[in-house]
Each structure stands twice: as C-alpha cells, then as structure tokens.
C-alpha cells in the first residue's frame, strides 16, 4: 500500500514522462490555453461584476455599465451601510455563520474520522451492514428530511436555537466514506500493531498514530462540511425565526426580499450586493489557502468510488 | 483491505500478556464500536428517526374536527394525482436530463484538458473554475438574478448596445434555462475537481502501452483516462441526481424577482416546503418529501445499476 504522498510523487513522474513523449502536440497548447482562459471568463465575470458593483451606489448601479467601475467609488459607504443596517445585524449574521459552520464542520470531521478509522482498520461483526447503511444514506435527500427534523426539534424545544442548525449538520455519510478510504491508505497496519505492542490503548493509538496521518483527509472533510453548512439555506430557513440567529444566507435572502419590495425608495440593492460580496470572501480565502490539503484528500477519495 | 483480525493471533508479545486471542479480539470489537458510536448516534437521531417520522406523519391527515386521524395512503394518492407535484417533478427531470450532461461534460472536458498540462496557467485555470463552488447557492442566485435583470443587468446592457433588444431571462418560458445556467456555473468546478483528482491518481503503468503506441491525447483520454476514472464520474452523476431533484434555494430566491414565473410547485422540494409551511399542511408536506426521497433513491439505484452493467460489458469486451 502506498501513502498518498508517494502516489502524488509517482503521478508527478508519470506526468513528466507523458509530457516528454507528447511534446509533438505541444504546438497546439496555445489553442487550448486561449480556449480554456475564455471559458474561465464565464466563471469569473459574474464575480468580477459583484466586485465592481459593490463599489457603486444605488444610482450608479442603474446608470453605468455593469462590468466596469463607474460613478463615485462608494465601496466604503456601502460597507458602512451594510455593517450598520438594522443595528449591525449583518455582523451578527456573519458571526452566526462562522460559529454554526465551524462547529458543525469540526464535529462532523471528528465523527467521520473516528467512524472511517473503525471501518478501515477493524474487523467486527456487523461491519458490512453498518457501512452499507452509511453508503445508502449518501443518497437520502437531506432537505427532504428538514421538515420532519423541524417537527422533532419543535417537540424538543430546540427550534430557533443554534443547535437546530449544528446538530443535523454533524452527519456526513460521505465524510465517513472518504475517511475510510483515506485511513485505509494513509495509516499502515504495522504502525497500529507496534503501538499495540508498546501497550498503547486503542484510543491512544488512534489519537497519536492515526489522527496525525489523516491530515489531508481531515482537511478535505472539514472544508466540505464547512461549505455544506455555510451555504445551507433550507435548514436555517425552516428552523429559525429570530433574525438575530440567522446565518448569512437567510439574512441576505431577507434583505433581498426587502430590497425588491421596497421599490426605488430604499437604497438597499447596493447593500445586498456588497453583502453578497463580503459573504463569499471567507470561503474563497479558505479554499485558496488550504488547496494543497483538500486536493490530495479528494484524490484518494475519488479513486476508489 | 488488510485483515486486522488475523494480526493479533500472529503476535507473540500480546499472547504472552493475554493468554487467549479472543479477549484481545473482544477488546478490539469494543474499540471499533466505540469509534462508531458517536457517528451512529447522530446518524440515527438525525437521519433514521426523521425518515421514519416523515413516513409516519405522511399516513395521517389533520381534520378540522377530530384533529389528526389515520388516513392510510390518502396523502400519497393525493400527491400522485396532484398536477403541481407532477409539474415540479417533470421540471426537475427535464433539468436533470438537460443540465447534468452539460455540466458533467464541461467538467470532464476541463479535467481532461488540465490533466494534459498543455495550457498555460493550468493551476490558475483550475482554481478559477472551481471558485464558484465556494459561493453559496443563495448568493449565486441573487447575483445571477441581477445579471439577468432587464434594467441594470450587464447582459441586457450589452444586448441592447448590440441592438438585440432586451432578453427576458426571467419569463416563465426561460426561467428553467436560466436556473440551469446558475447551477452549471456553481458546480462545474466542483465536479471538475473530483474528476481531476481521479485523473491525477491514475497509475503511470497504464500510460506505458499508449506511449509505445504513440497514441494522441484524444485517444489517450477516450481509451485510458475516462475508463480509469469511471468511479469518480459515477460519483458526480449520483451527486447530480440528488442535487437537481432537491433544487430549492434557486427557485425560492428567483421567486422574489420573478413571482409570475416561479409557481408554488416549481420544484418538488419547493412545493413540499410551501405546502408544509405556507399552507400549514404538514402531513401532506411530509408525504411529498417522502415521495421525493423515494424517487431520488430509485433513480440513483438505476444510475448505479446502469454503470455496473456497462462496466461489466466493457470488461467482457476486453477479455
């Protein structure tokens, strides 16, 4: 069994070989380059528009060309409005989103890591059934469960609390699957064995030997659970009533509804646009900084589907 | 997969400490179950119980007189004869048939193109295409809603400048297509990354024969790369089934700017939400959600079955 690091090295070597022997096709590379960068425009231009628009005030938004700066630079004013509107509710929403998604992602990652490790490194009665159940659950439409979950939480008096968002987001069957595949590869059995010989308990072995080797896998599961909770709209919409508890998605949707209903009287459009722009920055930054980890984590997960 | 049970028996150090292997084994069983316990507690309370509860709720009706009464399959009969439910299901089915092949085709093309490293700035291209994934569906829909807008939307501005008039992206006929574009924009990068990661992990030996043959990039992609990443592609198809049949944020936000085009039952999930929370018909909403779940499970099952069959056929063909 090879670890991911060695595998990446191997594939890197493979790449150089392939490159060398296909050098005759290199002359076409400018064509592919132009084509791909043109395609990139489709993915980037909407975000560019968002950036440009968040620097405009409401009237410039309507009167100037959307893909270029125009009117006065009012990014600062927009930000000020955004963070002071309704007593600084936007800040609250941002904090809520961070708290919900980080808590849920840490929890989901821990649960997935433990379960995935158990599936990968132990033999026990019922293993097959339990793993099949986990795999089958990947297909359960989570939003279809939001309604009964809401009713159950209402009985327990937990609706309109942060728990109503965090607890359902702790389940990540795909995370368990990914961690199983990853742990099977990344943790050599001999290491576990020698830890046992040294007299380490099963849990100490997991924490001190297994957990450290799971690094990229953990980052992958963490990031994808983080995104799932960060971007979730349906669950908080159903569960929460008080606007101080809203995450950014529900808050922005509400602001947008208010902007559309308010007609031209309120200068809310620029606030909604600036809010949208601000709300996507943290995740984009997280993905950029952690790319080395999540990309190699995904590599292992997608090989053995 | 290594066989962990065989290991303790072959370990003299441990058997010196514990006379027989079976207590060691039992100890390991216990450890495995303890590792699984936290996940399965949440799994059961947050997945299994709500699922069963939804099934239970869907069998009742609430009457003005007498409150909740057992209704058997009445709610299901109602759903199966409800034109709104079928309309929504038809729309997401159309969405699945049209949008998913486009999205996954683009994702596969980008993944294969980047895997050749023939383009300059491959790393930048990869990240920029992936970036929309980090944008919440709510923000993506809001943003595209503005981009589609007839007044200050840049698409309309450019179309007017070129003399094409103002395109109506938000009319009843066009809005499903506009929604397909939003979802494509959001998820091409995500699917591309899954496929790309699988491509990068193809063992080098697989390429050796092709290199001797002097096969071109297209043949290499078609006869080696695509078959090798079949599991990853299957994964993206199944995620897309789940994703398109559950569409919610997009219709619910587009409803704000195009209330005439987005009806209450535009997608099944949006319909179930409206029935349960706007009309206050919880039991009927539960039946709709349950039915949708069954539809998704059936389609995912057939997707998997179909893929297994074609994989088998291919293996036979090779032999």
Going from N- to C-terminal start, the domains of chain A cover 74-303
- What is the average per-residue pLDDT within A162-180? 91
The alpha helices in A122-172, defined as continuous H runs, are: 127-137, 142-155, 163-166
Contact A302 B235 (CB under 8 A): yes
How near does any CA of chain B get to the CA of A257, in Å? 6
3-class DSSP state of B20:
coil
Select the residue of B31, B47, B217 nearest A145 (Cβ to Cβ).
Answer: B47
Distance from chain centroid for Cα A102: 10
Determine contact: B265 vs chain A, CB below 8 A: no
Determine contact: B53 vs chain A, CB below 8 A: yes
Q: Residue A245 in contact with residue A160, Cβ under 8 Å? A: yes
DSSP characters for B167-231? --TTSTTTHHHHHHHHHHHHHHHHHHHHHHHHHHTS-THHHHHHHHHT--HHHHIIIIIHHHTHH
Q: Please write the tens of the pLDDT for every residue from A179-238.
A: 988 888 888 888 888 888 888 788 888 888 888 888 888 988 898 899 889 999 989 999
- What is the average per-residue pLDDT within B258-262? 87
Contact A171 B144 (CB under 8 A): no
- Give the pLDDT band of residue A303 (cuts 50, 70, 90): low
CA distances from A78 to A268, A276, A277, B265, B282 (A): 10, 12, 11, 36, 41
| Rounded Cα–Cα distance for residues B202 and B225 (Å) | 8
- Positive or negative, the Cα torsion across B232, B233, B234, B236? positive
Give A152's contacts in chain B (Cβ within 8 Å).
Answer: 49-50, 53
Three-point CA angle B221, B236, B295, nearest 5°? 140
Q: Residue B51 in contact with residue A145, Cβ under 8 Å? A: yes
Determine contact: A283 vs chain B, CB below 8 A: yes
Structure confidence at residue A142 (pLDDT): 65
Asked whether the predicted pLDDT for residue B1 surpasses 50, the reply is no
Indicate which of A21, A140, A302 best probes the interface with B, i.e. most B CBs within 10 Å of its own CB: A302
Q: Please write the tens of the pLDDT for every residue from A58-86.
A: 777 777 777 788 777 888 888 888 888 88
Q: Please write the tens of the pLDDT for every residue from A230-284.
A: 999 989 999 999 999 999 999 999 888 888 776 554 568 888 899 999 999 998 8
- Structure token pair of residue A116: 């995935």
The DSSP output letter for B19 is: S
Structure confidence at residue B59 (pLDDT): 92
Structure confidence at residue A182 (pLDDT): 85
Structure confidence at residue B13 (pLDDT): 46
Q: Residue A299 in contact with residue B198, Cβ under 8 Å? A: yes
- What is the average per-residue pLDDT within B190-216? 81
Select the residue of A14, A62, A284 nearest B207 (Cβ to Cβ).
Answer: A14
What ipTM was reported for this prediction? 0.83
Asked whether the predicted pLDDT for residue A304 surpasses 60, the reply is no
Per-window interface: A 184-213 vs B, CB < 8 A: 184, 189, 193, 196-197, 202-203, 206
Which CATH fold topology does A74-303 show? MetI-like fold (1.10.3720)
Select the residue of B14, B189, B203 nearest A43 (Cβ to Cβ).
Answer: B189
- Structure token pair of residue B280: 């206050």
Structure confidence at residue A300 (pLDDT): 64
Least confident of A38-52, A96-110, A140-154, A227-241: A140-154
Determine contact: B197 vs chain A, CB below 8 A: yes
Closest-CA residue to A112 (of A240, A250, A226): A226
How near does any CA of chain A get to the CA of B249, in Å? 7
CATH code at B83-318: 1.10.3720.10
The DSSP output letter for B70 is: E
Select the residue of A67, A141, A305 nearest B242 (Cβ to Cβ).
Answer: A141
| Rounded Cα–Cα distance for residues A128 and A137 (Å) | 14
Distance from chain centroid for Cα A71: 35
The helix-helix angle for A127-137 and A173-186 (nearest 10°) equals: 130
Per-window interface: A 148-187 vs B, CB < 8 A: 148-149, 151-152, 167-168, 170-171, 173, 176, 184
- What is the average per-residue pLDDT within B270-274? 91
Structure confidence at residue B316 (pLDDT): 67
- Find tokens 């960060």 and name the residue: A230
| Rounded Cα–Cα distance for residues B109 and B91 (Å) | 27
| Rounded Cα–Cα distance for residues A267 and A272 (Å) | 10
| Rounded Cα–Cα distance for residues A128 and A131 (Å) | 5
- Residue with the bigger pLDDT between A298 and A157: it is A157
Structure confidence at residue A143 (pLDDT): 62
Q: Residue A209 in contact with residue A194, Cβ under 8 Å? A: no
Asked whether the predicted pLDDT for residue A9 surpasses 50, the reply is no
Domains in chain B: boundaries: 6-57, 83-318
DSSP characters for B27-62? HHHHHHHHHHHHHHHHHIIIIIHHHHHHHHHTTEEE
| Rounded Cα–Cα distance for residues A27 and A29 (Å) | 5
- Find tokens 């929460």 and name the residue: A240
Contact B232 A305 (CB under 8 A): yes
Q: Please write the tens of the pLDDT for every residue from A115-155.
A: 999 999 888 998 999 998 888 887 776 666 888 898 889 98
Select the residue of A32, A117, A231 nearest B137 (Cβ to Cβ).
Answer: A231
State which of A7-11, A44-48, B58-62, B67-71 shows the largest mean pLDDT.
Answer: A44-48
Determine contact: B240 vs chain A, CB below 8 A: no
The fraction of chain A above a pLDDT of 90, given in percent, is: 33
- Structure token pair of residue A202: 């099963």
Averaged pLDDT of chain B: 84
Structure confidence at residue A83 (pLDDT): 87
- What is the average per-residue pLDDT within A158-169? 93
- What is the average per-residue pLDDT within B30-42? 92
Which 3-state string (H, E, C) describes A209-230? HHHHHCHHHHHHHHHHHHHHHH
Structure confidence at residue A263 (pLDDT): 56
Structure confidence at residue B26 (pLDDT): 83
CA distances from A208 to A137, A183, A187, A211, B2 (A): 30, 14, 12, 6, 21
- Structure token pair of residue A285: 């930054």
Select the residue of A36, A122, A141 nearest B113 (Cβ to Cβ).
Answer: A36
Q: Which residues pair with B63 in a beta bridge?
A: B67
- Give the pLDDT band of residue A159 (cuts 50, 70, 90): very high
| Rounded Cα–Cα distance for residues B200 and B206 (Å) | 12
Structure confidence at residue A107 (pLDDT): 96
Q: Which helix (H) or strand (E) holds B75?
A: helix B74-80
- Structure token pair of residue A215: 């690094």
Per-window interface: B 74-103 vs A, CB < 8 A: none
């Amino acid at each position: 069994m090879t670890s991911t690091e060695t595998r990446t090295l191997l594939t890197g070597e493979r790449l150089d070989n392939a490159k060398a022997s296909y050098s005759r096709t290199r002359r076409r590379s400018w064509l592919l380059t132009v084509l791909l960068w043109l395609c990139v425009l489709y993915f980037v231009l909407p975000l560019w528009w968002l950036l440009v628009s968040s620097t405009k005030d409401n009237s410039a938004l309507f009167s100037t060309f959307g893909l270029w700066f125009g009117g006065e630079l009012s990014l600062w004013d927009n930000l000020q409005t955004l963070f002071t509107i309704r007593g600084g509710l936007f800040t609250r929403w941002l904090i809520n989103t961070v708290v919900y998604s980080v808590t849920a992602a840490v929890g989901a990652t821990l649960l997935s890591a433990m379960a995935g490790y158990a599936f990968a490194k132990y033999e026990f009665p019922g293993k097959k059934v339990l793993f099949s159940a986990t795999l089958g659950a990947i297909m359960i439409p989570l939003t279809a469960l939001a309604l009964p979950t809401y009713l159950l939480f209402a009985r327990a008096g937990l609706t309109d609390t942060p728990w109503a968002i965090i607890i359902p987001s702790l389940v990540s069957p795909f995370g368990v699957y990914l961690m199983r595949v990853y742990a099977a590869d990344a943790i050599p059995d001999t290491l576990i064995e020698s830890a046992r010989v040294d007299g380490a308990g099963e849990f100490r072995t997991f924490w001190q030997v297994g957990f450290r080797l799971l690094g990229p896998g953990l980052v992958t599961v963490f990031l994808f659970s983080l995104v799932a909770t960060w971007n979730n709209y349906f669950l908080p919409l159903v569960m929460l009533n008080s606007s101080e508890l809203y995450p950014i998605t529900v808050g922005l949707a509400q602001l947008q509804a208010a902007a559309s209903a308010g007609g031209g009287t309120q200068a809310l459009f620029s606030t909604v646009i600036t809010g949208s722009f601000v709300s996507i920055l943290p995740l984009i930054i997280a993905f950029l900084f952690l790319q080395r980890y999540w990309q190699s984590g995904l590599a292992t997960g997608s090989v053995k589907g | 997969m290594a066989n962990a049970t065989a290991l303790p028996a072959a370990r003299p150090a441990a058997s010196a400490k514990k006379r027989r292997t079976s207590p060691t084994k039992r100890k390991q069983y216990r450890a495995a179950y303890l590792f699984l316990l936290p996940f399965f507690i949440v799994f059961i309370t947050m997945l299994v119980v709500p699922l069963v509860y939804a099934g239970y709720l869907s069998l009742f009706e609430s009457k003005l007189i007498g409150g909740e009464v057992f209704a058997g399959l009445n709610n299901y009969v109602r759903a199966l004869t409800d034109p709104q439910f079928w309309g929504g299901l038809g729309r997401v089915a159309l969405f699945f048939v049209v949008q998913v092949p486009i999205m996954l085709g683009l994702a596969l093309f980008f993944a294969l193109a980047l895997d050749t490293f023939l383009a300059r700035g491959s790393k930048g291209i990869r990240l920029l295409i992936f970036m929309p994934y980090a944008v919440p569906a709510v923000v993506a829909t809001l943003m595209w809603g503005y981009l589609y807008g007839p007044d200050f939307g840049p698409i309309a501005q450019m179309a007017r400048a070129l003399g094409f008039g103002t395109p109506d992206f938000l009319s009843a006929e066009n809005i499903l297509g506009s929604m397909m574009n939003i979802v494509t924009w959001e998820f091409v990068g995500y699917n591309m990354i899954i496929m790309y990661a699988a491509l990068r992990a193809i063992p080098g030996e697989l390429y050796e024969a092709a290199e001797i043959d002097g096969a071109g990039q297209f043949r290499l992609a078609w006869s080696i790369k695509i078959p090798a990443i079949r599991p990853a592609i299957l994964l993206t198809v199944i995620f897309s089934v789940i994703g398109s049949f559950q569409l919610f944020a997009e219709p619910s936000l587009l409803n704000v700017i195009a209330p005439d085009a987005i009806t209450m039952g535009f997608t099944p999930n949006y319909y179930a939400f409206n029935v349960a929370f706007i009309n206050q018909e919880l039991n009927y909403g539960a039946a709709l959600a349950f039915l949708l779940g069954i539809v998704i499970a059936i389609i995912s099952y057939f997707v998997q079955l179909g893929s297994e069959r074609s994989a088998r056929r291919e293996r036979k063909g090779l032999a």
